[in-house]
Amino acid sequence: MGNIDRPSLRSRILTAIGLDKHSEYVDNYFFDANIKSSIYMSAIVIVLEVWMIIRLTRTVIVERLEDQLPHLFEKYYSNYFILLAAGTAMLIYAVMYITKRTKIKGIGFTLKWLFSFICIYFGIKVSMNDYAKGEQILTFLTMELFVVCLLTWRPVVGFLILTSSYMYFFLQLDIMVAHNTGEQGLTLATQINSFTMWLSTMLFCIANYNKTLSQAVKDERLEKMNSHLSRISVEDELTGIHNMVYFRSEAEKLLKYVTTDKENSVFLFFDIENFKSYNEKYGFHEGNQLLINTANLIADTFPNSLVSRFSDDHFVVLTHDEGCIEAVNKLSARITDMQREVSLQLKCGAYKPTEDETDPSLACDRARFACNSIKKHYETNFASYDKSMEAHFQLKQYIVNSIDNAIANDHIKVFYQPVVSTATGEIVGLEALARWQDPRYGLLPPGAFIEILEEYRQIHKLDICIIDSVCRDYRDATANGRTFVPVSLNFSRLDFELCDIVAELKYRAEKYGVPPAFLDVEITESALTDNQGLLKEAMAKLREAGYSVWLDDFGSGYSSLNVLKDYQFDVLKIDMKFLSGFENNPKTRPIIQNIVNLTKELDIISLTEGVETREQYDFLSSINCGRVQGYLFSKPVPEEELRKLVEEGKLKVSHDFESIQK
């Protein structure tokens, strides 16, 4: 553990001398760098050679040396022309490569070697002549610097080029000097000077290589990072198809193009019904596999279309509407084929954009709206958005866009519905139920906004606002010496994901001085099927802090009994659907009685909701159902109205809680 892989000695030596393997990117980087350098080199060489040719020709003309032309040609002109030709070829290639007119690297590679070889050869020849005339060997040195330092070579290659050319040059020089003087060759001073030159050139070559290499590696990393970032910015990481951001921007472009056949285009929104249950039953991995398979099927079904995954099990496609219903039906059948013990159904909502439509987000929302309209309609898998949905759709948009405003402007109100004890007939609690008093739409019941706020993950804002109002009502009542009874608050299962709702509750209760006994939390049965860990933890925290936790809508789902086994509750609210058949269905009474008996055994208080008739109340009272709630006593009403009902004597409030009211 903790052992970082260190490169072995062998690989470090190979790296140092430049015999290690480079990635393709680094190889290309070196090639490009060399091609760029060779532009400067060849340009200088061309200018130099042209100048040399002109100079020599002028001398020939001025000094009338025409008869020596063959000799001059052999000794000078031929070299000048060869170098000029090599430089020109190199330059032409480099320019073509940089301007992307050629990609053939083999030519560039050969030219680079040829050009380098010719340069050095030229340097040696000229300097030999110069030295013979008693001049310096500057041309040789310049050419060495040119080739070895302007171009980037792997150190071992640089070493070979440099060493062999130096050795060849100085050997030739040595022979020449020895021949001319008849004595020994180069002096010791020249030998030492040459060695120093060789060494410094070699060091420069290594430094140049390392600098270029590290730059190349850095660039490569950046490039990789960039391409990763740009890929994930347009791609859905799980399924590999496009993501919502890409879809929106491409769809927007398509909607703007005059050439797009909008009339025959359609937005399709897909949702896999029961995906959540599938995920829970088979686990994350299988759930993800299902999403990947679905994404591939959708992409195959709609080739040449814009296909994307928006979130979870939501996919959106922008395609041609011809044959689209048949395609959806086929697709649906294939998704159903993948189902196991959880039944799966692919739902699709379609929206055809209008001629002047430019906002893909709204189009997707409308398609989604159509899709949601057939949720739980098992016989249908396709719905087209139509005019009748528009008013409802507008309201939904309005809700999502206005929740913050509504909270800030006090449009969210708390209505209270009394909870009555069957033993005393007095109010022993109140349920806080949200209402939206909207300036445009009037008084909206929770049915108009709760589900929408949940869908758009905004519900916690509303629930926090209700907690705040209830706590304030408590403070006002206490400050004015009025009796207050415990209030139960409805928490959405999403509250536990979207915020630290327990902390929010504690904070507000402390701020307004509300003792925990005055606040109860209702959690609906259907909330308890997913995210069990998170909820269990939150429930434990609530109980620890002294809040009661109630189970709401008991019997409305399919996991009722399991829920009782797995979680601890103080009050169980029997769903009002049990009372719906009270008058005609003989099974109703024994069922309710059984539930009430069960709660007694589990030491939980039972509360039946939706009590509307005296007969129902009498029955519940006779079987010792502890508490009741319903229109028989009162509908949910604003606090002032409830107070009036109490003052008029229509309802009686229990005084049991006065001793703990601070």
* Residues at the site binding ligand C2E, with contacts judged by CB under 6 A: 417, 433-434, 445-447, 450, 459, 462-463, 466, 490, 492, 552-553, 576, 609-612, 629-631, 636
Q: Which residue in 553, 606, 628, 633 binds Ca ion (CB under 5 A)?
A: 553
Touching Ca ion, residues 513-542 (CB under 5 A): 522
Give the pairing type, strands 412-421 and 265-273: unpaired
C-beta separation of 272 from 254 below 8 A: no
CB of 291 to Ca ion, least distance (A): 33
The residue with tokens 């709609």 is: 302
Q: What does 245 bind: ligand C2E, Ca ion, none (CB cut-off 5 to 8 Å by kind)?
A: none
Touching Ca ion, residues 238-297 (CB under 5 A): none
Contacts with Ca ion by CB under 5 A: the residue count is: 4
Pick the closer one to Ca ion by CB: 294 or 490: 490
Q: Which residue in 490, 492, 548, 606 binds Ca ion (CB under 5 A)?
A: 490
Q: What does 201 bind: ligand C2E, Ca ion, none (CB cut-off 5 to 8 Å by kind)?
A: none
Residue 355's closest CA among 263, 447, 221, 476? 263
Q: What does 18 bind: ligand C2E, Ca ion, none (CB cut-off 5 to 8 Å by kind)?
A: none
Pick the closer one to ligand C2E by CB: 294 or 402: 402
Q: What's the rounded Cα separation, in Å, for the pair 153 and 158? A: 5
Other beta carbons within 10 Å of 398: 17
CB of 452 to ligand C2E, least distance (A): 12
Q: What is the CA radius of gyration of the chain?
A: 43
Give the pairing type, strands 442-444 and 314-320: unpaired
Residue 616's closest CA among 598, 630, 604, 602? 630
Pick the closer one to ligand C2E by CB: 162 or 487: 487
Q: What's the rounded Cα separation, in Å, for the pair 255 and 33? A: 44
Pick the closer one to ligand C2E by CB: 239 or 492: 492
Q: Return the exposure string of 111-136: e unless at least 16 CB atoms fall within 10 Å of the residue's CB, then b.
A: bbeebbebbbbbbbbbbbeebeeeee
Pick the closer one to ligand C2E by CB: 283 or 445: 445
CB of 442 to ligand C2E, least distance (A): 15
Q: What's the rounded Cα separation, in Å, for the pair 54 and 61? A: 10
Q: What does 433 bind: Ca ion, ligand C2E, none (CB cut-off 5 to 8 Å by kind)?
A: ligand C2E
Other beta carbons within 10 Å of 86: 23
Q: Which residue in 87, 552, 629, 636 binds Ca ion (CB under 5 A)?
A: 552
CB of 476 to ligand C2E, least distance (A): 19
CB of 607 to Ca ion, least distance (A): 9
Give the containing element (helix H, strand E) for 129: helix 105-132
Give the pairing type, strands 242-243 and 345-351: unpaired
Token pair belonging to 266: 């359609």
Pick the closer one to Ca ion by CB: 540 or 576: 576
Pick the closer one to ligand C2E by CB: 165 or 634: 634
CB of 24 to ligand C2E, least distance (A): 57
CB of 441 to ligand C2E, least distance (A): 15
**Number of DSSP helices (H) and strands (E) in the chain, helices first:** 22, 15
CB of 569 to Ca ion, least distance (A): 13
**Interacting stretch for Ca ion, rule CB under 5 A, among 129-137, 149-157, 407-415, 490-498?**
490-498
CB of 430 to ligand C2E, least distance (A): 12
Residue 320 pairs in a beta bridge with 265
Q: What does 502 bind: ligand C2E, Ca ion, none (CB cut-off 5 to 8 Å by kind)?
A: none
Specify whether the backbone of 18 is left (phi greater than 0), alpha (psi in -120 to 50) or beta. Answer: left
CB of 617 to ligand C2E, least distance (A): 11
Could you write out the DSSP letters of every residue in 466-478? HHHHHHHHHHHHH
Residue 463 binds to Ca ion (criterion: CB under 5 A): no
Terminal-to-terminal C-alpha distance of the chain: 60
Specify whether the backbone of 442 is left (phi greater than 0), alpha (psi in -120 to 50) or beta. Answer: left
Contacts of 482 (CB under 8 A, 6+ apart): 643
CB of 510 to Ca ion, least distance (A): 24
Pick the closer one to ligand C2E by CB: 266 or 551: 551
Pick the closer one to ligand C2E by CB: 473 or 552: 552
Q: What does 586 bind: ligand C2E, Ca ion, none (CB cut-off 5 to 8 Å by kind)?
A: none
What 8-state DSSP symbol labels residue 182? S
* Footprint of Ca ion (CB under 5 A): 490, 522, 552-553
